Amino acid sequence: MTNSKNEVSGIDSILNYSPTGKPVVSVYLLVDRSRVAKKSYQTRLNSMIAAGREKLETDVNFDRRQKKEISGIFERVKSFVNDNFKADNTRTLIIFSSGDGLWEVFRIPIIMRSKIIIDPKPHTQNIRSFINNSKRYGVLLVNREKAQIYSIYPGGISEYLAALISDVPSKVNFRSQAALREKKILGRLEDKLHHFFKLINDKTMELFKDKKFDYLILGGRKEIVPNFSNYLHSYLQSRHIGNIDAEPDSNITIINEKANKVIDGFEAKTKNSLVEGLISEYNPNGMGVLGIEAVIKSLMTEQIKILIYDRQFIHSGYICSSCLYFTIEKKDKCPYCGGEPVFYNDIVDEIVEDALNQGCEIVDIEGNEKLSEAGSIGAVLRYKL
């Protein structure tokens, strides 16, 4: 996550936003470099802002002062995208802004439809769907004195979960102690450390039960982590996917960078295994489909449980302007409602967004030859017809 304050609390402030009476401008912009060039998404943004201004002129829901504020936000968004934004690995850029100082920027690693919405609150349906359908990774940082726990979503959105403080001193000076007492003091210190590690395990297990994270990454010195691992509950051990070299007081940016390397490796392995299962197991027994036509058919009947696609895959198609019927075949009118089909150069991002809105899990993958040979897109189904 990136925002003006560079803090981890931005996502909570948006999801729990209370209306202030100021209109909130929500901007979703597809910036995926594999699909659109910088000039193309800048042109798309300019087009959306121009359409927004035109609609705003005749909108009776906003007074002159509010319209001026919204126009100023449009200019700020345009300036940010043109002068300060770099897409890097971002797939969709999301900006929330209002006239009372709200300015939050999120970089989302999945494709979403470009749009601008002006409402009393941030338009968060898509970002909520993304978070609810993404795996969350707990990062537990431990030393003898304290522990910090975070959760990390794909794309670097972080949430602070808890902190625990130990009364075990980091260093003990024995020079004034008799040799016999040294042993007793060491024993008491180890006993305190034992209870501290148990407390950390209990708190981490409590967060896991509360569904604050799905998988766990441990961080700490090499001599600490193996010792602490023995205290982890068996459920947590089964969800432990790797370790990082970081301390509880480490900078959150460094923690994110190191944790994301572990996450990337784990997700690549998991996604490739899922593709293998789709091709060799789910599709042959009727609980999976392959190819864009089969995926669209399953999407229209809300059968899809997990949508899997190659992030480089692009396909043209049509969507009914009235009932949102999807098809890759040109039709003069919608076969369901008689509405007008609208042409899309790339219908894949519309498929992904519709799947998100249906509560489907989204899995994007790159470079899997078997998936490419099978049509570059597929789905695991909830049920067979």
pLDDT of 153 reads: 77
Q: Describe the chain by its helix, strand, coil percentages, rounded to 5.
A: 40, 25, 40
Residue type, position 285, single letter: N
Q: Which residues contact 244 (CB under 8 A, 6 or more apart)?
A: 139, 217, 218, 219, 255, 258, 259, 261, 262
pLDDT on residue 129: 77
185 in Cβ contact with 134 (< 8 Å): no
**CA dist 142 to 71, 127, 218, 365, Å?**
48, 31, 8, 33
Below-50 pLDDT ranges, the chain? 1-9, 172, 174, 176-177, 179-180, 185-186
pTM across the whole model: 0.74
Give the pLDDT of residue 35. 85
Query: Among residues 51, 64, 78, 80, which one has the least CA distance to residue 23?
Result: 64
All domains in the chain, ordered by first residue: 2-132 (3.30.960.10), 137-265 (3.30.420.60), 283-381 (3.30.1330.30)
Residue 11, classed as helix, strand or coil, is helix
Q: What is the pLDDT of residues 321-354, one digit of tens each?
A: 889 899 999 989 999 999 999 888 889 988 988 9
